[in-house]
Chains A and B, each alone.
Chain A
Amino acid sequence: MELVLSNHSSYPRIGDDAAGQLLRRTIAQREKGEKTDADLRAAEDQMTERALAEQVEAGLDLVTDGLIRWYDPVSHLAGKLSGIKINGLLRFFDTNFYFRQPIVHGKMKREKPLMVEEFLFAKAKSSKPVKTVLTGPYTLARLSIGQNEETGKFDNLLAGYTQALAEEVAALAGAGSSFIQVDEPALLKHPEDFGLFETSIQALAARKGSARLGLAFYFGDIARLYPKVQGLPVDVLCLDFTYSPNLAEIVETEGSSKTLAFGLLDGRNTRLEDPTALARQLERMLGRLKPDVAYLTSSSGLEYLPRDRAQLKLRHLTTVKKTLLGRAA
Chain B
Amino acid sequence: MNREKLQQLGINLPVLPTTSVGSFPKPDYLMKARSDFAKGKITRQALEETERKATEFWIRKQEELDVDVLVDGEMYRGDMVAYFSEHIKGFEQGGLVRSYGNRYYHKPIIASEVHWDHPITVNWWKYAQSLTKRPVKGMLTGPYTVMDWSFNEAYPDRKAACFALAQEIRKEVQALVDAGAKIIQIDEPATSVRPEELPLAIESMRLVTTGLPAYFITHICYGAFEFIYPEMLNFPVDNFDLEMSNSGLDMLELFKKDPYTKDISFGVVDVHTHQIEEGLVVQQRLREALRVLPKDCIWVDPDCGLKTRTVDEAIAKMEAVVQVAKAMRN
Question: In the complex, what residues of B have CB within 8 A of residue A271's CB?
Answer: 151-153
Name the distance in Å between A234's Cβ and chain B's nearest Cβ: 28
Closest to A306 in B: B95
Give A contacts to B, CB under 8 Å: 12-16, 24, 27-28, 31, 71-72, 89, 91, 94, 96-100, 269-271, 303-309
How far does the alpha carbon of A14 sit from the alpha carbon of B104 in the complex, in Å?
9
Given A28-B102, A71-B101, A306-B107, are A14 and B153 neighbors across the interface (CB < 8 Å)?
no
With a cutoff of 8 Å between Cβ atoms, the chain A residues found around residue B153 in the complex are 269-271
For B152, the chain A residues whose CB sits under 8 A away are: 269, 271
CB distance A16 to B100 under 8 Å?
no
Closest 8 CB pairs of A and B: A306-B95, A98-B100, A270-B151, A271-B153, A27-B102, A16-B95, A94-B193, A306-B94
Chain A residues near B109 (CB-CB < 8 A): 270
How many chain B residues touch A (CB < 8 A): the figure is 19
The answer to whether the Cβ of B96 comes within 8 Å of any Cβ in the partner chain is yes
Q: List 17 A-B contacts (CB under 8 A).
A: A12-B96, A15-B96, A16-B95, A16-B96, A24-B104, A27-B102, A72-B101, A94-B194, A96-B149, A100-B101, A270-B109, A270-B153, A305-B151, A306-B107, A307-B96, A308-B95, A309-B95
Please, how many angstroms separate the alpha-carbon atoms of A13 and B101 in the complex? Answer: 11
When distances are taken between beta carbons in the complex, the residues of chain B under 8 Å from A98 are: 99-100
A164 to B141 CA separation, bound complex (whole angstroms) = 44
191-206 of chain B: CB within 8 A of chain A:
193-194
Query: Which residues of A sit under 8 angstroms from B99, Cβ to Cβ?
Result: 96-98
| Interface contact B95-A269, CB-CB below 8 Å | no
Known: A14-B104, A270-B109, A270-B153. A304 touches B97 (CB 8 A): yes
* Additional pairs, 4, CB under 8 Å, beyond known A98-B99, A304-B97, A307-B95: A13-B98, A271-B152, A306-B107, A309-B94
Which chain B residues border A15 with CB–CB below 8 Å?
Answer: 95-96
User: Chain B residue with minimal CB distance to A72?
Assistant: B100
Give CA–CA (A27, B193) in the complex, Å. Answer: 30
Could you say which residues of chain A place their CB within 8 Å of the CB of B97?
Answer: 12, 96, 303-306
A270 and B94 contact, CB distance less than 8 A:
yes
A14 contacts B193, C-beta separation under 8 Å:
no
In the complex, what residues of B have CB within 8 A of residue A28's CB? 102
B151 touches A14 (CB 8 A): no
| Residues of chain A with a CB closer than 8 A to B102's CB | 24, 27-28, 31
Q: How far is the CA of A98 from the CA of B100 in the complex (A)?
A: 5
A125–B151 alpha-carbon span in the complex (Å): 33
Least distance between A308 CB and chain B CB atoms (Å): 6
Q: Is B222 an interface residue when CB atoms closer than 8 A count as contact? A: yes
Report Cα–Cα, A304/B151, bound state, in Å. Answer: 10
Q: Is A97 within 8 A of B100, CB to CB?
A: yes
Nearest CB in chain A to that of B94: its residue: A306
Task: Give the contacts of B130-171 with A (CB-CB under 8 A).
Answer: 149, 151-153
Contact A269 B98 (CB under 8 A): no
Bound-state Cα–Cα, A89 to B109, Å: 26
- Cα-based distance from A15 to B96 in the complex (angstroms): 7
Contacts of A305 in B (CB 8 A): 97, 151
| Contacts A28-B102, A270-B151, A270-B153; A14 near B96 (Cβ below 8 A) | yes
Task: Give the shortest distance, in Å, between B7 (CB) and chain A (any CB).
Answer: 40
Mark out the residues of chain B between 83 and 100 whose CB falls within 8 Å of any chain A CB in the assembled complex: 94-100
CB distance from B303 to the nearest CB of A (A): 15
Q: How far is the CA of A9 from the CA of B126 in the complex (A)?
A: 49
Q: How far is the CB of A191 from chain B (nearest CB, A)?
A: 14
- Check A91–B98 contact: CB distance below 8 A: no
Contact A303 B95 (CB under 8 A): no
Chain A residues, CB < 8 A from B98: 12-14, 97, 303
A256 to B290 Cα, complex, angstroms: 57
Residues in chain B near residue A31, CB distance under 8 A:
102
Chain A proximity of B230: nearest CB distance (Å): 21
- Residues of A contacting B222 in the complex (Cβ-Cβ under 8 angstroms): 91
Look across to chain B and name the residue whose beta carbon is closest to the beta carbon of A25: B102
Alpha-carbon separation in the docked complex, A132 to B194 (Å): 30
Most chain A CB within a 10 A radius of its CB, from B97, B99, B149: B97
Shortest Cβ distance from A99 into B: residue:
B100
Q: Which residues on the B side are within 8 Å of A24 (C-beta)? A: 102, 104
Contacts of B107 in A (CB 8 A): 96, 306
Give the chain B neighbours of A72 by CB distance below 8 A: 100-101
Contacts of A71 in B (CB 8 A): 101
Cα distance, A71 to B101, chains bound together (Å): 5
Q: How far is the CB of A89 from chain B (nearest CB, A)?
A: 6
Q: Which residues of B contact A13 (CB under 8 A)?
A: 98
Contacts of B95 in A (CB 8 A): 15-16, 306-309
Give Cα A205 to B109, complex, Å. Answer: 41
Contacts of A96 in B (CB 8 A): 97, 99, 107, 149
